Amino acid sequence: MSTMFLLRKKPRTTRPFSLETPCSCSGGRLAVTLTKTAVCGLSLFPESTAKQGRTLCRTLLFLVLMVTCSVNQATAADSTLMDRLHRWVDRGSVMLNNESGHTLLAYNADAILIPASIIKIYTVMAALDILGEQFVFKTGFYRDADGNLGIKGWGDPQLISEEIHSIADKLKMLGVNKIQQIQLDQTAFDSSIDINGRSNSLNPYDAINGALVVNFNTLFLGRKKDGTIYSAESVTPLTPLARILGRSLKPGTQDRFNLSTRRDYAERYAGELFGEILKGHRITVEQSDVGQTVIDDRWSLIIEHHSSVSLQEVIRGLLKYSNNFIANQIFLVTGAEKKGYPATISKARSVFQAHFNQQFNEDTERTIINEASGISRKNRMSARTMMAVLERFRPWADLLDHKKGAWVKSGTLTGVYNYAGYIKTADGYRPFVILLNQQKNKRDRILRQLIQYSHQY
**CA 39, CA 59: separation in Å to the nearest integer?**
11
> In this structure, are 195 and 284 located in the same domain?
yes
CA distance 99 to 428: 5
Please state the separation of Cα 371 from the chain's center in Å: 15
Q: State the burial class of residue 324 (Cβ atoms within 10 Å of its Cβ: 0-12, 13-18, 19+).
A: buried
- 297 and 246 in a common domain: yes
Check whether residue 282 and residue 212 sit in a common domain. Answer: yes
Q: How many domains does the chain have?
A: 3
| C-beta of residue 235 within 8 angstroms of C-beta of residue 259 | no
Q: Which pLDDT belongs to residue 260?
A: 75
Asked whether residue 393 is domain-assigned, the answer is: yes
Same domain for 298 and 167: yes
* Alpha-carbon dihedral sign for residues 102, 104, 108, 114: negative
Task: Give yes or no: residues 298 and 372 share one domain.
Answer: no
Residue 266 counted as domain residue:
yes
Decide if 43 is inside a domain.
yes
Assign 3-class secondary structure to 325-365.
HHHHHHHHHHHHHHHCCCECHHHHHHHHHHHHHHHCCCCCC
Q: Residues 89, 222: one domain?
A: no
Residues 338 and 444 reside in one and the same domain: yes
Residues 303, 165 share a domain:
yes
* Residue 193 and residue 331 in contact, taking contact as beta carbons nearer than 8 Å: no
**Can you give the CATH number for the domain in which 389 is found?**
3.40.710.10
Domain residue limits at 249: 138-309
pLDDT of residue 330: 97
Residue type (1 letter), 161? S
Q: 88 and 153, same structural domain?
A: no
Distance of alpha carbon 292 from alpha carbon 364, whole angstroms: 42
pLDDT of residue 12: 42
The answer to whether residues 224 and 252 touch, using CB atoms and an 8 Å cutoff, is yes
Q: Is the Cβ–Cβ distance between 72 and 26 less than 8 Å? A: yes
- For 154-182, letters b (16+ CB in 10 Å) and e give bbbbbbbbebbeebbeebeeeebeebbbb
- Asked if residue 339 is part of any domain, the answer here is yes
| In-domain check, residue 158 | yes
Shared-domain flag, residues 124 and 145: no
Domain for residue 205, yes or no?
yes
Taking the C-alpha atoms of residue 333 and residue 329, their distance in angstroms, rounded to an integer, is 6
pLDDT at 1: 42
Determine the pLDDT at residue 450. Answer: 96
Question: Is residue 337 in some structural domain?
Answer: yes
Amino acid at 443: R
Q: Are residues 161 and 295 in the same domain?
A: yes
pLDDT for residue 22 = 34
Residues 263 and 350 in one domain: no
Tell me whether residue 65 is in a domain: no
For residue 50, the model assigns a pLDDT of 57
Q: Could you read off the pLDDT tens digit of each residue along the chain, which spans 457 residues?
A: 433 333 333 344 443 333 333 333 333 333 333 333 444 443 444 545 555 656 665 665 555 545 444 444 445 556 788 899 999 999 999 999 999 999 999 999 999 999 999 999 999 999 999 999 889 999 999 999 999 999 999 999 999 999 999 999 999 999 999 999 999 999 999 999 989 888 766 666 677 899 999 999 999 999 999 999 999 999 999 999 999 999 999 999 999 888 877 889 999 999 999 999 999 999 999 999 999 999 999 999 999 999 999 998 999 989 988 889 999 999 999 999 999 999 999 999 999 999 999 999 766 788 999 999 999 999 999 999 999 999 999 999 989 999 888 999 999 999 999 999 999 999 999 999 999 999 999 999 999 999 999 988 8
